[in-house]
Structure 1
Amino acid sequence: MAACEGRRSGALGSSQSDFLTPPVGGAPWAVATTVVMYPPPPPPPHRDFISVTLSFGENYDNSKSWRRRSCWRKWKQLSRLQRNMILFLLAFLLFCGLLFYINLADHWKALAFRLEEEQKMRPEIAGLKPANPPVLPAPQKADTDPENLPEISSQKTQRHIQRGPPHLQIRPPSQDLKDGTQEEATKRQEAPVDPRPEGDPQRTVISWRGAVIEPEQGTELPSRRAEVPTKPPLPPARTQGTPVHLNYRQKGVIDVFLHAWKGYRKFAWGHDELKPVSRSFSEWFGLGLTLIDALDTMWILGLRKEFEEARKWVSKKLHFEKDVDVNLFESTIRILGGLLSAYHLSGDSLFLRKAEDFGNRLMPAFRTPSKIPYSDVNIGTGVAHPPRWTSDSTVAEVTSIQLEFRELSRLTGDKKFQEAVEKVTQHIHGLSGKKDGLVPMFINTHSGLFTHLGVFTLGARADSYYEYLLKQWIQGGKQETQLLEDYVEAIEGVRTHLLRHSEPSKLTFVGELAHGRFSAKMDHLVCFLPGTLALGVYHGLPASHMELAQELMETCYQMNRQMETGLSPEIVHFNLYPQPGRRDVEVKPADRHNLLRPETVESLFYLYRVTGDRKYQDWGWEILQSFSRFTRVGSGGTTRLAWGWPSSRRPPP
């Protein structure tokens, strides 16, 4: 035992104290025995590579399955319906992207062109405020303020006889209402007045629309464009005559106007429109649209006091240095047209100066790649743009501003106004997409092409295109044969494609054509056509146009008469087939309102003046009575009729 202990101690070496020291929680002899009996394992064999483990997430479990699932394999695992839906969605997104890119490219191109043109034209347009003023002031020009110009002496007028058919004349009431009879007024034809001094070999006469017609033009060859004459001298201002012997109908018309004017003057003076029911006002452009539009009416009615009060507002309050967008079409026919009419009737140069200023501010709208004007223009900054939701303009908007701009060129001697609008006329004349003279409703300002092809109407968005063709031809001295050809062709297109007869009364009406399908829908706006046709016959067009005018006038009258209120709805539908118990005219619930539109009564005026038939006077008087009964508001003004058609309903007082 001792020997064994000695051998054991020799094998362990001399430091036996290590084994005599008990470790924590164990006996030294037990540990020694374990070490001796179980030697440590041999070292691992040498390897020629290094193993590296990469972690792909907190919960990585060393699975390699994700490496086997490629995108193609996932795609193949989808059902056929899922794959088709994904392919359809991708194709749709690609198509939308292409459309967006094309529109954006056109917009960028137009924007670059517009910016370039604005830089060129900005110094040319007086009164515009640049969006970014230059660092250095612009060179100052000589003072050309009309107020500082020497007064132009009044010229002695001379009367002479003009060849051809007599011109319709716009005269003060004292001339038309003499002896209280309309018949004598229509028989008298006042000779045009020559504003040039005696002895001037280049005398001109002013026609009923203010257009200058040279006496020798009747022997010239027809031209494609009316020449812009030099600026004529301003005539002296005229004074209103006092109407005498007014009959009861004339007094009734004046009473209706004064009632409406009272409401505007009290609740909306200087603002765009009166809201008679709420006794407040609304602003469209903030330029006093109602006041300017009523200037010529007040002059014709002989309302001297009201006219002078409105003139004072125009002189003191009407300024165009405003950062406001205006619609080119609406502002042209209301503001520019109103000022020019007031100038023609009164001879007051104030209105012409205002008209020229405003016309200059509208010119940036024509700075487009296609020369088709933008719909809106800022009269303060000179920045023009199409509508916010589209780059299209309506054909009526871009083709119903020519009369005013051409007349402004004639009066000022500045050709740019006429040249701008005649480029539009020439462009549309040569466009494809028409159907026997009928034009689509929309045109793109960037490309200059018709859009929404195949839809033809004489109602909203296209109506006044046809009206202005004839009136431009008359305004230009009947020399622009292209305008006459387009007008006559369009009337024949109406006969061929849009004219129908209703049942049971066989009323002649003008419908619409949409992609070859006829619709028996007729807007109240179409009632401009009878008067336009009669005006054309008055100036030498075929008598068949008068027959059509009288038939359509009867229809427009029945559109009023067959309603319980005696007022036409906005839109009617005609019955094409006989059905028991049904009338010729049917009205849908959404169309049962009247917006106080003037087309019917304007056509009645033309028909009476051309034919002398008093029934047209009587029809107009009936419609006026209905307006007074159902739209008159006690506090002043008239409101639209926007409910059903019971005759017992009236607007609130």
Structure 2
Amino acid sequence: MRTLLLAVLFAMLPSAFAQQKADVPTPMTAAQKQQMADEVRRQFLLAWNGYRQYAWGHDELHPISHKPEDWYKVPLLMTPVDALDTMLVMGLDRQADEARRLIDTKLNFNQDIYVKDFEITIRLLGGLMSSYEMTGDKRLLALADELGTRMLPMFNSPTGMPYEYVNLRTGAVKGANSNPAEVGSLLLEYGTLAKLTGKQIYYKKAKRAVMELYRRRSRKTGLVGDGINVETGMWTGTSAGIRGGIDSYYEYLLKCAILFHDKDCQRMWDESKASNAKYLADQRPDGLWYGQANMNTGKRTTTDYGALDAFYPAVLALSGDVEDAARLQASSYAMWNFAGVEPDTFDYAKHKITDPAYPLRPEIIESTYYLYHYTGDAKYLAMGQTYFNALMKYCRTDVGFAALANVETKQKDDHMESFFFAETLKYMYLLFAPPSTLDFNSIVFNTEAHPLRRDMKVAAPK
């Protein structure tokens, strides 16, 4: 009976998805949108106050057990740095000033620890620079410059592509097996640091890494795989897609073209977008999806789509392809509604959840915000309400919001990563807040949603 019921439900999915696309929500008034923005702000304060009470000075808060967590043997203030520009965007000046004082006085990078270059770059370096640009606090820029200097040895591989880990005190490196996202998602931050400090070495090192990665793409398909050795330059994984491990590499090609007027990045994005559309896009009766293919042959391998893939509509919209962005976003939204919260991975061909976790990811909300910015269509506000209501119903705790171990059972997981403050709640707030809250056309968001100003240029290296 269960098998028969599931078969009937799957048969209904295309028409159900079509109905979702056909629904025309009632437009929200300015007052209603402001009410939603204010509610998102209140929930941010709930989570921030929980962090402040139970995890102050540490990296993160466990929102169920009320215990602090640090990534390494010493805290690097992940949550305060990641959350600071969100507080500034929301007008939480008192909380922002307190967080900034903590960062200014307590954040110390002179530590004998190996840190993951990608995460430290997008969260800490990106957060410090965006907050500096918003406040003018020179201590934040000094910390960013110090961090950048300590991270530079990661690029000292034979290919110029970064190792996965670098020791902040000694400059020692380790982790030769990396992936396109970690290799190719550094130029926004190091390019901005070059702009702010005048030290062009930051731009040149990160730009070389992107170029070395791109030139190793498949000559036949234009695709990249999901694993590469930065010492040999050889691919260790040949599964191409837009999912985690590759995702932000494509995002940064386009955004670096915009932020730095970099013609190489624009060319690499244009060619990559075309390859992705040819080999990864998968038009099905229930909508447009993006799956995986062998990077060398272009042959489809798997039909997985998930929470991390849901960033791609935002990038398509930013590139000017709003039509395909909207089609893919409709599929992301259908994936969310399949169990009431999006899973980390969903097999769209089988209509089956293959990884049921929800770590409070922001990407689907990010794409909703971009599409609402470009179209003004009220359906994207309705999508945002759906996400917010689910967060409130399934993830909220007395001191914050918990990830879900399983979106089908709604079992909570005692984690609230710093990106929940930096991305998930920021994009949710901006979706409903007045456009004047943050001038979309004057900034570029890094992959952690830290806004970087577009009003200065950095010349591409010769």
1:314 corresponds to which residue?
A: 103
Work out which of the residue numbers 573, 585, 588 in structure 1 matches 2:347: 573
Q: Hey, what does 1:203 align to over in structure 2?
A: none
8 A contact 2:358–2:407 mirrored in 1: no
Of 233, 247, 251 in structure 2, the residue corresponding to residue 467 of structure 1 is: 251
Paired residue type of 2:330 = E
2:309 aligns to what? 526
Matching residue of 1:298: 87
Bigger fraction of residues in helix: 2
Deviation of residue 435 (structure 1)? 4.9
Aligned match of 2:319 in 508, 531, 536? Answer: 536
Distance in 1, Cα, partners of 2:396 & 2:413: 7
Q: Under a length normalisation based on structure 2, what TM-score does the superposition of the two structures give?
A: 0.79
**Counterpart in the other structure of 1:587:** 353
Asked whether the 8 Å contact 1:433–1:450 carries over to 2, the reply is no
Q: Deviation per CA, 1:403-425, whole angstroms, max 9, x where unpaired?
A: 00000001000111111111112
Q: TM-score w.r.t. structure 1 length?
A: 0.56
Contact map agreement 1:528 1:602 (CA 8 A) in 2: yes
Q: Does 1:264 align with 2:69?
A: no
- Displacement of 1:313 in angstroms is 0.3
Higher relative contact order, chain-length normalized (CA < 8 Å, sep 6+): 2
Gaps of 5+ in 2: 1-28, 415-462
| Matched residue SS, 1:421 | helix
Q: Does residue 1:638 correspond to 2:407, yes or no?
A: no
* Cα separation, 2, equivalents of 1:476 and 1:434: 27
Q: State how 1:211-290 maps to structure 2 within 5 Å.
A: 247-285=34-72, 286-290=75-79
| Structure 1 residue 392 displacement after superposition | 1.1
TM-aligned CA deviation for residue 246 of structure 1? 7.9
Cα shift at 1:481: 2.5
Superimposed CA distance per residue, residues 555-609 of structure 1 (whole angstroms, 9 cap, x where no aligned partner): 111111221xx21000001137xxxxxxxx3213xx1121111100001111011
SS in 1 for 2:406: coil
SS in 2 for 1:587: strand
Q: Does 1:510 align with 2:295?
A: no
1:274-315 per-position Cα deviation (integer Å, ceiling 9, x unaligned) = 111111122113201111000100000000110011011011
User: Equivalent residue for 2:327?
Assistant: 551
Whether the 8 Å CA contact 2:253–2:265 is kept in 1: the answer is yes
Is 1:491 aligned to residue 273 of structure 2?
yes
Whether 1:338 aligns to 2:338 is: no
* Whole-angstrom distance in 2 between the partners of 1:431 and 1:650: 41
Contact 1:594 1:640 in 2 (8 A): yes
Q: Look up the match of 1:174.
A: none
- Quick check: 405-414 or 615-624, which moved more? 615-624
Amino acid at match of 1:555: S
Deviation at 1:457, TM superposition (A): 1.2
Residue 136 of structure 1 is matched in structure 2 by none
Distance, in Å, in 1 between the alignment partners of 2:167 and 2:409 is: 44
C-alpha separation in 1, matches of 2:377 and 2:222: 31
1:328-376: per-residue Cα shift (whole Å, max 9, x none)?
A: 0000000000001101111221211111111111011111221111110
Match runs of 1:105-144 below 5 Å: none
In structure 2, C-alpha distance between the alignment counterparts of 1:530 and 1:614, rounded to whole Å: 17
1:428: how far off? 2.1
Q: Does 1:425 align with 2:210?
A: yes
1:632 corresponds to which letter in structure 2? Answer: R
CA contact (8 A) 2:280 2:300 kept: no
Residues in 2 aligned to 1:288 and 1:346: alpha-carbon distance in whole angstroms? 18
Question: In structure 2, what is the equivalent of residue 481 of structure 1?
Answer: 263
* Match of residue 407 from structure 1: 192
- Cα separation, 1, equivalents of 2:382 and 2:30: 15
Question: Cα distance, 1:249 vs. partner?
Answer: 0.2
| Cα distance in 1 between the residues matched to 2:33 and 2:141 | 31
CA distance in 1, matches of 2:101, 2:371: 36
Shift of 1:651: 8.0
Write the distance in 2 (CA, Å) between the matches of 1:651 and 1:481. Answer: 44
Q: 2:403 touches 2:412 (CA, 8 Å); kept in 1? A: no
Matches within 5 A, 1:181-196: 181=30
Q: Shift in Å at residue 471 of structure 1?
A: 0.1
User: How far off its partner does 1:254 sit?
Assistant: 0.4
Q: Match for residue 112 of structure 1?
A: none
Kindly indicate whether the alpha-carbon contact (under 8 Å) linking 2:180 and 2:213 is maintained by their aligned counterparts in 1: no
Q: In the alignment, what sits opposite 2:230?
A: 445
Assess, with a 3 A threshold, how the Cα gap between structure 1 residues 524 and 246 changes in structure 2: closer, same or farther: closer
Q: Look up the match of 2:369.
A: 605
Instruction: Map 1:136-155 to 2 at 5 A.
Output: none
Which structure carries more strand by proportion?
2
Secondary structure of 2:404's aligned partner: coil
The residue number in structure 2 matching 1:208 is none
**AA in 1 matched with 2:144:** A
Q: Contact 2:181 / 2:245 at 8 angstroms: preserved in 1?
A: yes
* Alpha-carbon distance in 1 for matches of 2:165, 2:413: 35
Amino acid in structure 1 at the alignment position of 2:282: R
* 1:398 maps to amino acid: V
Distance in 2 between residues matched to 1:263 and 1:395, nearest whole Å? 35
**Aligned residue in 1 for 2:451:** none
Supply the distance in 1 between the matched residues of 2:107 and 2:144 (Cα, whole angstroms): 11
Deviation, structure 1 residue 432: 4.6
| Aligned counterpart for 2:114 among listed residues 322, 325, 330 | 325
Contact kept, 8 Å, 1:444 with 1:450, in 2: the verdict is yes
Helix, strand or coil for the counterpart of 1:551?
Answer: helix
Whole-Å separation in 2 of the counterparts to 1:255 and 1:435: 51
Partner Cα separation in structure 2 for residue 385 and residue 592 of structure 1: 32
Structure 2 Cα separation of the partners of residues 335 and 646 of structure 1: 34
For 1:628 and 1:639, the matched residues in 2 are separated by 10
Distance, in Å, in 2 between the alignment partners of 1:646 and 1:406 is: 44
Corresponding residue pairs, total:
381
Give the aligned residue type for 1:419: K
Deviations 1:58-101 (A, max 9, x none): xxxxxxxxxxxxxxxxxxxxxxxxxxxxxxxxxxxxxxxxxxxx
Q: Is the 8 A contact 2:313 2:326 kept in 1?
A: yes
1:650 Cα shift? 7.1
Indicate if the aligned counterparts of 1:371 and 1:448 stay in contact, CA closer than 8 A: no
CA contact (8 A) 1:512 1:521 kept: yes
Q: 8 Å contact 2:194–2:203 — kept in the other structure? A: yes
For residue 522 of structure 1, report the CA deviation from its aligned partner: 1.0
Tell me the SS of whatever aligns to 1:294: helix
Query: Which structure 2 residues correspond to residues 14-163 of structure 1 after superposition, within 5 A?
Result: none
